[in-house]
């Protein structure tokens, strides 16, 4: 008998140990996947924050630029920079034939003419002189410099020719290639050229969408939650509504996209591809999340507080507004932020309402066409150029940073303002 | 209290039935509550004494499935009438709950809440006075006068309960309902509250639900004994405890069941 008991006890301890082991290995697996994921994103993405520049001597030849003596500012604006830009690239190899000159030109971004122009506008005294100007390298050379380019492929399978590589290697050897922090990644809108593409448009698009979403979803959801929790009679009809709010939270987001497309764009004729429509669509999606969070935090307010207020002769409205709602706000707010974070990462509905369009301008208001960060990831991930690979990861990093900041904020609100019930 | 030898009746309950859905919780309760006296309601758990107490300020309204039938006359006015305004009723009839439930706000805000919503104080100064007198009457002033603007939830249990009493008397109610006000408190805090109850009965009519027979004997002048939703017996505390008419009362008081 005693021995049996001993055995049973041992068995129970062993079972507990096994259970701990399972739990620990589950956590370990989760951490492992997370680490691999983060490592992958960072190792591919970090190089996108660097940009490769070629340092090319440019001669600001007044004649080639069609400039008179003592040109005014307007003259400088209208001057022809293409020829000197071409010439400075061609001059990198004095022996180049026409084809090779063309290849030399393609070593920098098509933006090079403008970069040279800006240089002169900054310092008009450069006319007639030669200066070394930083020109954005083409995305392929950018990748070559970052070591991401398969140089050992046969020439006909590469976009970079042997000739371009030879010149580029010379430039590197002469210290005429430099890598600097990629500001344009944050200030440029999307572009077909990987070296010029940036996230400004999609970032602003995301911010505007989230703001529109917040302004619609928050008041509607909070009012709905307060009414359902504090005022509505508990009967079949309200049960039915409750079930359907939960159902709504489980509806796939693409369905909301179809709703946006069919109702907002087709019937109400709102402008396509805009954060306004995106925000409204996202707000439909966020609504149930916030309602559920708000109701949960209203429920968490102890009934004794309501009773105390009611027994003091407060009306139902006063009880709700003076006590219950303020006490539930921390939970509601953090639920709202979590809902917005979800909306921020949403892609499918935005694609349907046209926010997947190629937008190379930065939106100034929710009424301007824009992309959003997750859609930008989608667009770039679809692009063939090698230069976009690192951009995808970099954009994911920005999006993750955004999300983590929001979630952190939600945690802070929850911990700082939540009242403790002893 | 007797005026010219006649008992002044503050509350008159007549044939009160209470239902939770289909289940009847109170059967035909008729009870008179004397003015400026302490009436204790005793009985085993689930006997309906708290339910009856909550009828008196219509707190049962909060429970959807609860319905109350019968007449409850306070100052000869039936509070179960359709015309009765619960907000004004609850201004006249304060309540102290089983578990101290101060608002998670400052002490000052706790006490000034009632006067604020009922528009009792005209100025900040008047409000200060109300807060001070209420806290003094609740025997809490000396302990908290230096920290009126700290949260009320930071007090000890007994202090919190006295804060709740101060909050209840801040609107000068005629009746104070107490639902086992000492059940969450230690003996010292209990003694303080009991002393306070004795003091408060000079200005208020008090009805207290309690589990402690000793407490009922100590603080009350009248006692009602509830069992299974029926009012078995009521009368002066002396009589109920020393010479009850009903054997059930006798059994309960002597600890044979409950």
Average pLDDT for consecutive 10-residue bins of chain B (258 residues)?
65 92 92 93 90 92 88 90 89 92 92 93 92 92 91 89 94 93 88 91 93 91 93 92 90 79
Closest alpha carbon to B177 in B135, B201, B208, B211: B208
A418 has a pLDDT exceeding 80:
no
Q: Write down the pLDDT at residue B6.
A: 62
Who among B64, B102, B114 is closest to A313 (CB)? B114
Closest alpha carbon to A180 in A48, A57, A44: A48
Q: Write down the pLDDT at residue A160.
A: 87
Residue identified by tokens 């600890």 is B255
Task: Look up the ipTM and state it.
Answer: 0.90
Interface contact flag, B90 A315, Cβ < 8 Å: no
CB A124 within 8 A of CB A69: no
Interface contact flag, A313 B113, Cβ < 8 Å: no
Interface contact flag, B62 A322, Cβ < 8 Å: no
- List pLDDT tens digits, range A248-302: 989 999 999 999 999 999 999 999 889 999 999 999 999 999 999 999 999 999 9
Cβ neighbours of A228 in B, within 8 Å: none
Residue identified by tokens 């700082």 is A416
Residue B122 neighbours by CB distance under 10 Å: 8
CB A403 within 8 A of CB A345: yes
- List pLDDT tens digits, range A192-210: 888 889 999 999 999 999 9
A157 has a pLDDT exceeding 60:
yes
Interface contact flag, B57 A314, Cβ < 8 Å: no
- List pLDDT tens digits, range A323-371: 999 999 999 998 999 999 999 999 999 999 988 888 888 898 899 999 8
Per-residue b/e over A187-213, b at no fewer than 16 CB within 10 Å?
ebbbbeebbbbbbbbbbbbbbbbbebb
Who among A234, A312, A422 is closest to B114 (CB)? A312
CB A196 within 8 A of CB A188: yes
Chain A residues interacting with chain B (CB cutoff of 8 angstroms):
233-234, 302, 304-315, 318, 322-323, 327, 419-420, 422
Who among A234, A304, A310 is closest to B90 (CB)? A310
Cβ neighbours of A307 in B, within 8 Å: 59, 62, 97, 101
Q: How far is CA B115 from the centre of its chain?
A: 19
Q: Write down the pLDDT at residue B258.
A: 57
Q: Write down the pLDDT at residue B4.
A: 54
Interface contact flag, A419 B101, Cβ < 8 Å: no
Q: Write down the pLDDT at residue A422.
A: 42
Higher-pLDDT residue of A152, B93: B93
> How far apart, in whole angstroms, are the C-alpha atoms of residue A82 and residue A77?
13
A62 has a pLDDT exceeding 90:
no
Interface contact flag, B94 A311, Cβ < 8 Å: yes
Interface residue of B90, B98, B178 to substitute, partner A, most A CBs within 10 Å: B90
Q: Write down the pLDDT at residue A337.
A: 92
Give A200-417's CATH code, choosing from 3.40.50.300, 1.10.3720.10, 3.90.850.10, 3.90.650.10.
Answer: 1.10.3720.10
In whole angstroms, how far apart are CA A159 and each of A131, A141, A151, A165?
30, 10, 10, 11
> How far apart, in whole angstroms, are the C-alpha atoms of residue B50 and residue B48?
6
Closest chain A CA to residue B58: A311
Look over chain A and give the mean of its residue pLDDT values, rounded to a whole number. Answer: 90
Higher-pLDDT residue of A150, A34: A34
Cβ neighbours of B86 in A, within 8 Å: 313
How far apart are the CA of B113 and the nearest CA of chain A, in angstroms?
8
Residue A132 neighbours by CB distance under 10 Å: 13
Q: Write down the pLDDT at residue A148.
A: 85
Q: Write down the pLDDT at residue B1.
A: 47
- List pLDDT tens digits, range A20-40: 999 999 999 999 999 999 999
Instruction: Supply A355's token pair.
Output: 């926010």
DSSP, res B106: B
Mean pLDDT score, A10-28: 95
How far apart are the CA of A36 and the nearest CA of chain B, in angstroms?
46
- How many CB contacts within 8 angstroms connect chain A with chain B? 63
Q: Return residue ranges of chain A for CATH 1.10.3720.10.
A: 200-417
Cβ neighbours of A309 in B, within 8 Å: 103, 113
Who among B86, B103, B153 is closest to A308 (CB)? B103
In whole angstroms, how far apart are CA B67 and each of A359, B30, B55, B72?
64, 17, 10, 14
> Mind listing the domains of chain B with CATH numbers?
2-253 (3.40.50.300)
Interface contact flag, A233 B64, Cβ < 8 Å: yes
SS3 B38: strand
Q: Write down the pLDDT at residue A217.
A: 96
Percent of chain A exceeding pLDDT 70 equals 99
Interface contact flag, B62 A307, Cβ < 8 Å: yes
A222 has a pLDDT exceeding 90:
yes
Q: Write down the pLDDT at residue A64.
A: 83
Closest chain B CA to residue A302: B101
Instruction: Supply B157's token pair.
Output: 């249990």
- List pLDDT tens digits, range A70-98: 788 888 888 888 888 888 888 888 888 88
> How far apart, in whole angstroms, are the C-alpha atoms of residue A2 and residue A9?
11
Instruction: Supply A145's token pair.
Output: 């410099």
- List pLDDT tens digits, range A172-199: 999 899 999 999 999 998 888 888 899 9
Interface contact flag, A308 B59, Cβ < 8 Å: no
SS3 A137: strand
In whole angstroms, how far apart are CA A28 and each of A23, A34, B124?
9, 10, 61
């Amino acid at each position: 008998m005693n021995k049996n008991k001993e055995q049973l006890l041992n068995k129970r301890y062993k079972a507990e140990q096994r259970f701990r082991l399972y739990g620990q290995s589950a956590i370990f697996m989760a951490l492992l996947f997370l680490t691999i994921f983060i490592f992958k994103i960072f190792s591919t993405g970090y190089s996108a924050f660097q940009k490769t520049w070629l340092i090319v001597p440019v001669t600001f030849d007044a004649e080639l630029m069609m400039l008179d003596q003592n040109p005014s500012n307007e003259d400088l604006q209208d001057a022809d920079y293409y020829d000197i830009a071409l010439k400075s690239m061609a001059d990198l190899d004095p022996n180049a034939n026409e084809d090779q000159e063309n290849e030399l030109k393609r070593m920098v971004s098509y933006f090079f003419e403008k970069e040279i122009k800006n240089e002169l506008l900054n310092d008009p005294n450069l006319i007639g002189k030669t200066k070394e100007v930083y020109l954005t390298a083409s995305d392929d050379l950018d990748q070559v410099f970052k070591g991401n380019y398969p140089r050992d492929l046969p020439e006909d399978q590469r976009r970079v020719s042997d000739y371009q590589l030879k010149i580029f290697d010379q430039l590197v050897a002469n210290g005429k290639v430099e890598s600097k922090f990629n500001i344009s990644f944050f200030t440029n809108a999307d572009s077909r050229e990987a070296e010029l593409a940036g996230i400004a448009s999609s970032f602003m698009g995301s911010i505007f969408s989230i703001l529109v979403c917040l302004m619609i979803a928050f008041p509607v959801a909070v009012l709905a939650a307060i009414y359902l929790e504090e005022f509505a009679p508990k009967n079949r009809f309200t049960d039915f509504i409750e079930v359907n709010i939960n159902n709504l939270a489980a509806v796939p987001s693409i369905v909301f996209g179809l709703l946006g497309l069919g109702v907002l764009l087709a019937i109400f004729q709102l402008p396509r591809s805009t954060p306004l429509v995106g925000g409204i669509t996202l707000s439909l999606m966020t609504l149930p999340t916030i309602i559920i969070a708000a109701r949960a935090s209203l429920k968490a307010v102890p009934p004794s507080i309501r009773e105390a207020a009611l027994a003091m002769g407060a009306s139902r409205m006063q009880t709700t507004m003076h006590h219950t709602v303020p006490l539930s706000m921390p939970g509601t707010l953090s639920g709202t932020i979590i809902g917005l974070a979800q909306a921020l990462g949403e892609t499918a509905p935005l694609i349907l309402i046209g926010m997947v369009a190629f937008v190379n301008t930065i939106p100034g208001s929710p009424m301007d066409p824009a992309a959003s960060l997750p859609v930008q990831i989608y667009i770039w991930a679809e692009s063939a150029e090698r230069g976009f690979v690192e951009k995808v990861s970099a954009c994911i990093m920005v999006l993750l940073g955004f999300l983590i900041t929001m979630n952190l904020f939600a945690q802070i609100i929850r911990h700082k303002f939540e009242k403790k019930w002893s | 209290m007797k005026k010219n030898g006649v008992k002044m009746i503050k509350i008159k309950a007549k044939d009160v039935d209470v239902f939770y859905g289909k289940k009847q919780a109170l059967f035909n309760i008729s009870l008179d509550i004397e003015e400026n006296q302490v009436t204790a309601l005793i009985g085993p758990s689930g006997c309906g004494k708290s339910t009856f107490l909550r009828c008196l300020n219509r707190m049962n309204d909060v429970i959807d499935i609860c319905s109350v039938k019968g007449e409850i006359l306070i100052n000869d006015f039936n509070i179960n009438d359709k015309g009765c305004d619960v907000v004004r009723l609850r201004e006249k009839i304060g309540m102290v709950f089983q578990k101290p439930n101060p608002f998670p706000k400052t002490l000052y805000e706790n006490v000034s809440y009632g006067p604020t919503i009922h528009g009792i104080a005209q100025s900040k100064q008047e409000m200060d006075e109300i807060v001070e007198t209420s806290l003094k009457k609740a025997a809490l002033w000396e302990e908290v006068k230096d920290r009126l603007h700290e949260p009320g939830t930071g007090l000890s249990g007994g202090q919190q309960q006295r804060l709740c009493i101060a909050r209840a008397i801040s609107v000068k109610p005629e009746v104070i309902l107490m639902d086992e006000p000492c059940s969450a408190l230690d003996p010292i805090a209990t003694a303080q509250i009991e002393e306070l109850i004795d003091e408060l009965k000079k200005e208020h009519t008090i009805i207290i639900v309690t589990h402690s027979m000793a407490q009922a004997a100590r603080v009350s002048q009248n006692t009602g004994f509830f069992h299974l939703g029926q009012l078995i017996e009521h009368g002066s505390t002396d009589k109920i405890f020393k010479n009850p008419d009903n054997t059930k009362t006798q059994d309960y008081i002597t600890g044979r069941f409950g």
